[in-house]
Structure formats: C-alpha cells, structure tokens
Chain A
Amino acid sequence: MDIALLSLSSCLGCQMAFLSLEEYLYELIGENRVVYAPFLMDKKELDHADLALVEGTVRNTEHFLRAREIRERADRVVALGTCACFGGVQGLADLYPEPRLLRSRFGDTAFEGGPQGVRRLLPLDSFIRVDAYLPGCPPVPALIEKFLRAAVSGDRLSREGATVCAECAVTSPPLPQPGPRRLTEGSGEPGKCLLDSGFFCLGPLTRDGCGALCPSGMGVPCRGCRGPSGRVLERAGADVEAETVRRLARATGKKEEEIRAGVPDPVHTYYLFCLAEPLLRKRRSGGTSPYLHRLGE
C-alpha cells in the first residue's frame, strides 16, 4: 500500500506524531510504503497513493486545490487529526469574517497573487469526500499505528464511540466540591475525577482513544482535543456546554445559571477544538449517519 502524508493549514503536530511512530515508522519506510510526504521528501507532486493522510484545514484556495488534487489521486483519503476532522483550534477563526482577520493583521496590504481565503472554516469533508477519520490533536502515535496497521491489511478499526471517561482511571471525590474552577486556581487531588472536583473537564463528551492521558496521567482536565464523542454528534440536543454545566452544577451543588455566569469564555472553554464542526451546528449535509459510519479508527 502506497501512503501519502501532507498538510494543509496546520501546526504540523500530526506530522511530528507520525515521526514518533518509532519501530513502525521504520517498518513503513522499509516496505517503501511512504511515497509522498513533502515534510520528509523532495517529491513535489503526488502521482498516486492508495491512502492519503491529510492534516489541517482548508483556509484558502491553494489548500482547496491541493486537497482536491489529493482526492483525485488517492484511492482513500483520511482526515488526520482534529483540524481535518472537526476544524480543530483553527476553527476558532470562524468567530470572525476572513476579511476582518486579515485586516487586523495586514491592514490594507495588497498581496501579489496570493490565494483567496475561504468564507467559512469547515472540516475537510466539507470540501472533498473523506473516507475515514482519525481525530486527535495530534492522535497519539499508538493510535496512528493501530489505524495504519489495519488500513495496510485492508481493514478498518471499529470503535463503539466511548468517551475519555471510559479510559480514565480516577475515583469520585465526596460531593459537593468547590468550583467551578480552573488550573490557574490550583490543581485537583491526584487520582480524583476532575469534573466531580469542580473542573471544566470535557471527558464525558469527548471521543476516547487517547488513553485519558491528560486527566488520568497529568491531572489536567480534558479540553476535548479528540473532538466530540459519537453520542454528542449523533444525538440531537446533546450539547457540550449544557451537559458540562449540568454536571458541574451537580459536582459543586450550585445552580446551573451560576455556573454559566462564571464562564466568560464559553467558546474557548467548551468548543476549543470543534467550533467549526457542522454537526454541532446541525449543518452537515446528509445528517450524522454517513459521518459516524466512516469513523475509521
């Protein structure tokens, strides 16, 4: 199987995760599977690939043309990372119209032949057909390896769509707890559930597969970097903000209005990685089932 790896508008984090595959990277290279990867090789254009891993978002016409070219030349396209799957942090740019963003940075500068910006920040599958999705910011190397091993042997992993909580090894503290609170006010008690401890932890609403490294391993609340869980995407009315507020009200013994009033940056707190996700705005064409069917990990 010939594999291509490329970026659109991105931080290159997924490429760094790919480089962290260790032994499996050597296996891929040794079997001549990597045929196109501008980050690693000098090949300027892709001739053909069986599988193209595309990282990042489409921000301008040049990204769009590149994505379309890859779609034409690859048998299967994988949206690699949360930017490609849900818009990622870059999706926050959708808070502002593109001309305003550019004006804030460049004033009235006229660019010589620069590409034109897109009107809305949207996931990759709003621009080209995507065959499978591998979210994560970036996906942990073990997950990339698992995905690629399955793909190379012609399979696709199937996940039931559990949440980060399913992988989080913590116990619940006695309620109520102080909060809602953030890390800048101090850390939680090691080994205790951060959400029940009053922190803005999005674990119950976020897709699993990361091993719950942040809440379980580091004592850092989940910020949702793997994107919304299948249940959130599938179920009408399963809102990340509403559910988190409800759970924090339970944990702290406060009223939901009080919790809401204490969050001056709801977009950054609840939708840091998925503001551009059309399902959350109920505007992905064809409903949710085609997307969920293609979750390819």
Chain B
Amino acid sequence: MNRVKGGERLAEGRRKGALRDMAHLVIGPLTRIFGHAYLRVEAEEGMSPGVRFSAFGYRGFEMMARGVHVDNLPPLVSRICGPDSLFHQAAACLAVEKALGMEAPPAARSLRELALWAQLFERHAVSLSVHGLPDLLFPSSDPGLRNLVSIYRVDEEVVRRLLSLKSLGTAVLRETGGSTVHGVNFRPGGVVRDLSAESRERLADRLRSGESLLLETARLVKLLLRRSEETVRRAGSIEGSFLAEHDPGGMGITGGGPALFTPGTEAEGPRPVEDLGERLREEPSSSGHVIYAGLEGTGALTVGPLARVNVNGRYGTPRADEELSELKETWGFPIRYPMVAHALRMLEMLHAWERMLELLREPSRGTLGETLNPGAGKAMVYIEAPEGGLVYGVELGEKGLVEKLSIVSPLQFNLRNLEKSLAEAFASVEKEGQERVSDVLHMVVRAYSPCVPCGVH
C-alpha cells in the first residue's frame, strides 16, 4: 500500500502548475466565507486590472445522480451544501414533481416553506454574524482580530446575541426537518411528518422571544453601513439586470417564477422569464471550477438579496417593509451597492421571521404527501436560495430514475458581477498596500456571501 507516495506524486504535479505561480497576485485562501477559494489579480500593462474568483474541487453531483431513484435524490443533493441543504432538496423535489405533472399538497408546501425560511434565516445569520459584521464593527482594527473569537474576549454579550439569532433559525430547522443541518422531512410528492400543535406553539414562542434582538440588530447593521459609506462606495455599484422570483404578494421562495428587472425600466416592471431553459447559458471559466451562468441577451446578472428587493420592490410583511423604506431613503432605489446586501440580509431575516410566525399559525389540513407514480418526464424549476436563484433541471426515465440532472447555483449567476466589483475595489485601493487590498477585497467577497460548495457542486 503506497498511498502517501501516491499523494506525493500529486503534490509534485501541483507544484508544477501551482495556482500561486500563475497569477500576478494571489489573495487567499479567503477566510470567513462559505468554502475555500482564492482571488487572482491579473494586471497586464496598459490594461485595467482584472480579479478572478478562483475555486477548484468540482464534485460531480450531476453525474452522481444519474440512475438514482427519485426517493434517494433529496438526501443526495442535500450534501452539495450544508448551509443551503434544504434549498437543494426543495428544488430537486419540485423538479421531480413538475416532471411527473403533479404538485405536493398544500400542507406539505406550507411546511416546506416554513423550513426554507428557517434555513434562509440561519444562513443569513451566519453570513452576517460570523463573516460580514466583524468588518463593519471594527473596520480599523487588525483584520486578524475581526472575528467572533476575538470579539468574545472583549465583549461576550455581543457574540452571544449575534449567535442567538442563528439559534432561532436552527431551532425551527431541527423541529421541521428532524436535523440541524441535513433535514430529512422533504420527499418528492410532499413531506413525511407534520409539526404537532405543541411544536408550533413552542417554536412561535421561541421566535417571538427574539423580536427585539432582531429589530435591534437590523438597526445596528443599517447604522454600521452608513458609518462605512466610503467602503460601501469603494466596492462599486452593480450595472445590468437583476433576476429573482417575482411574487406580487411579496418576496417568496418557490411560488412566483423568475423575472428580470433592469434599472431604468421601472415603468414596465419586472419581465417574467418564461423560457428559462432555452435562455440559460453556462460558460466555463479557465480560472476555476465555478461556471459563469446567465440568460441569453441580458449580460451580467445579479441574483440574491439585492435582486429580490429590486424585482419585488417590497417584502410583503410589515416590519421588513418598514425597515426597507428607511434603507431606500439612504441608498436609493433600485439598490445597486453590493455591500448594502448585508442590511438586506438582515431585512430578509426579519421577513423570514414574520413569515415563519404566519406559517406556524396555519393549522395543518389534509394529506402531507402524494404517492408518486414513476414515469418519464422532464422539467426545470427556479427557486430562491439564500444567495439567489437556484435552478434544477431533471430528466426522468420510464422507471422514474433520474437520467439527467443539471444544477445552476447562485454563485454562478453572480460570478461576473462579483469579479467586476472586485476589480473596481482593487483599482480604488491598489496604491494603499497589499494588506489593505486584501482587506477590502475580502470585504467585497463577504458582501456577496458566495457559496463555494454550491458553486463547485
């Protein structure tokens, strides 16, 4: 057995074509983000510098899913991403149901929605408290000290309060999904288990107990962003169109269908994308395993919290909309600054909190799941994951096995604009030294909160 020697051969191979040797400047590995990635700054003489977001390690989930029975599909795709696990499960279930020409019953859809809001809430809480907020709280301190561990040493209470927000989402996830990370309640055709009336009441009480903390944190994030206005503007603004699910009732996750909004066309409103499958384009990047994605004829797209608010104009729940109107006054509307996404995540948490309370009040009625009749079919669905559009396409064979699975993740849609924002930020701090460059570029990445595991699925 000679595995280590084999590994050394791999190491030698890597040295020959090492990532660090190929770029003019490599920043990384990036820290306080979801996953492992580098930034490569490419500066050619006479050209404005470009910045590439580079992540390797494609795992091959689309191939792994070939031949899988639809019953095994949710636990499989769940492992693409722990923080977004239920979104992958939901997209897979919805695609299978659409391919078979059926729909999960209302009680199942309601329970799925509750669990998805809980995971969005939890993911945003981590994105803010663990990744984004330390930069805004202590912008002039050593970047090495801007983290929960260091902050805890000087102010225990702040860290406890921030992480207790995550715990609120986790509590709902645990009860609705049976697990804190990879929930097991979703299945094609519906859900397996309902929430008892006692569980609903207990969770509602728990959520209500977090109300003042949620509102205080929302105000804090808005205040910190105003204080960091220079950094916000350095990260540039987004040009081009926004893609998000459009729901006249307010921001949703799985119900409305995708729509495009292009600033300057407010009078026309968002344009529904009815031919998603035909317009979807993917283009590999030579600098990593995350493939650029877009829609034919639209140029660079933005998905995620900015796109959701720009497409829908409101959240549809009173607290979140009240906070949003103040944010619009400060940063204008449509909102184009990537760093304002930190505040929008906070507002989405508020919206998720309000929606969770509404859904917990709805008593479950009727069946939780339909029996699936295996058969051939093909479908594509678009849902809103925490950082934007998640597309699942499935082709099922006669026996109900998956013949083909295709996935497009939010990072793929945002990659071009992320790299554009990074290039703008780099140009504005280039002369301030490498440490400052690294610090500011990290902040830009955290504003986009990219999910690398989803990107290299």
Contacts and interface: CB of A to CB of B under 8 A. Distances in A.
Interface of A: 7, 9-17, 19-20, 22, 25-26, 29-30, 32, 34, 37-44, 58-65, 68, 88-90, 92-93, 95-96, 100-102, 104-107, 109-116, 118-119, 122, 126-128, 137-138, 140-141, 182-187, 213-214, 217-220, 223, 225, 264-265, 268-269, 272, 285-286
B101 interface: no
B331 interface: no
Interface string B282-294: 0011111101000
Interface stretch (B6-14, B338-346, B386-394): B6-14
Given A17-B181, A106-B291, A182-B69, A62 B63 contact: no
Given A68-B11, A219-B193, A15 B82 contact: yes
Given A40-B130, A40-B147, A61 B14 contact: yes
A9 B3 contact: no
Nearest to A67: B7
Given A22-B167, A101-B63, 17 more contacts: A13-B182, A30-B152, A32-B153, A41-B147, A65-B11, A95-B63, A101-B58, A106-B291, A116-B10, A137-B182, A138-B182, A183-B192, A214-B179, A214-B184, A220-B185, A264-B69, A272-B75
B14 A65 contact: yes
Contacts of A138: 82, 181-182
B189 interface: yes
Interface of B: 1, 3-4, 6-7, 10-11, 13-14, 17-19, 21-23, 28-29, 31-36, 56-60, 62-64, 67-72, 75-76, 79-83, 85, 126, 130, 143-144, 146-150, 152-153, 156, 159-160, 163, 166-167, 170, 178-182, 184-185, 187-189, 192-193, 284-289, 291, 368-369, 371-372, 399, 401, 442, 453
A219 B369 CA distance: 14
Q: For the complex of A and B, list the 7 residue pairs with the smallest distance between their C-beta atoms, beginning with the closest.
A: A13-B82, A61-B14, A113-B22, A285-B1, A218-B178, A182-B71, A89-B79
A11 B79 contact: yes
22 contacts: A10-B82, A12-B35, A16-B180, A20-B170, A26-B152, A29-B149, A39-B130, A40-B149, A63-B57, A89-B76, A109-B285, A115-B19, A118-B10, A127-B7, A183-B71, A183-B192, A214-B184, A218-B193, A220-B192, A265-B68, A268-B68, A268-B69
Most buried by B among A25, A29, A60, A65: A29
A213 B179 CA distance: 8
A7 B14 contact: no
Most buried by B among A12, A14, A58: A12
A127 B3 contact: yes
Contacts of A137: 79, 182
A19 B81 contact: no
Contacts of B23: 113
B37 to A, nearest CB: 11
Contacts of B160: 26
A61 to B, nearest CB: 3
A153 B4 CA distance: 31
Contacts of A68: 7, 11
Most buried by B among A30, A128, A183: A183
A111 B163 contact: no
A210 B152 CA distance: 30
Contacts of A218: 178, 184-185, 192-193
Nearest to A139: B181
Contacts of A96: 60, 63
Contacts of B149: 29, 32, 34, 37, 40-41
Contact of B58 (A30, A102, A113): A102
A95 B64 contact: yes
A112 B184 contact: no
A44 to B, nearest CB: 7
A159 B144 CA distance: 39
A127 to B, nearest CB: 5
Given A17-B180, A113-B21, A264 B31 contact: no
Contacts of B184: 213-214, 218, 220
A266 to B, nearest CB: 10
Contact of B79 (A13, A39, A40): A13
A42 B147 contact: yes
A11 B81 contact: yes
A225 B74 CA distance: 13
Contacts of A106: 58, 284, 289, 291
B372 A185 contact: yes
B95 to A, nearest CB: 14
Given A118-B10, A183-B192, A265 B67 contact: yes
Given A62-B14, A101-B60, A109-B286, A42 B146 contact: yes
A111 B287 contact: yes
A101 B6 CA distance: 21
Contact of A38 (B6, B29, B67, B85): B29
A264 B371 contact: no
A191 B286 CA distance: 53
A119 B2 CA distance: 13
A140 B181 CA distance: 9
Contacts of A26: 152, 156, 159-160
A272 B286 contact: no
A59 B58 CA distance: 8
A269 B453 contact: no
Contacts of B146: 42
Nearest to A71: B4
Contacts of A93: 59-60, 63-64
Given A110-B286, A183-B187, A60 B57 contact: yes
B32 A116 contact: no
B292 to A, nearest CB: 11
A185 B29 CA distance: 46
Nearest to B73: A268
Contacts of B29: 38, 44
A195 B126 CA distance: 38
A269 B72 contact: yes
Contact of B59 (A34, A59, A104, A268): A59
A184 B130 contact: no
A283 to B, nearest CB: 9
A133 B72 CA distance: 26
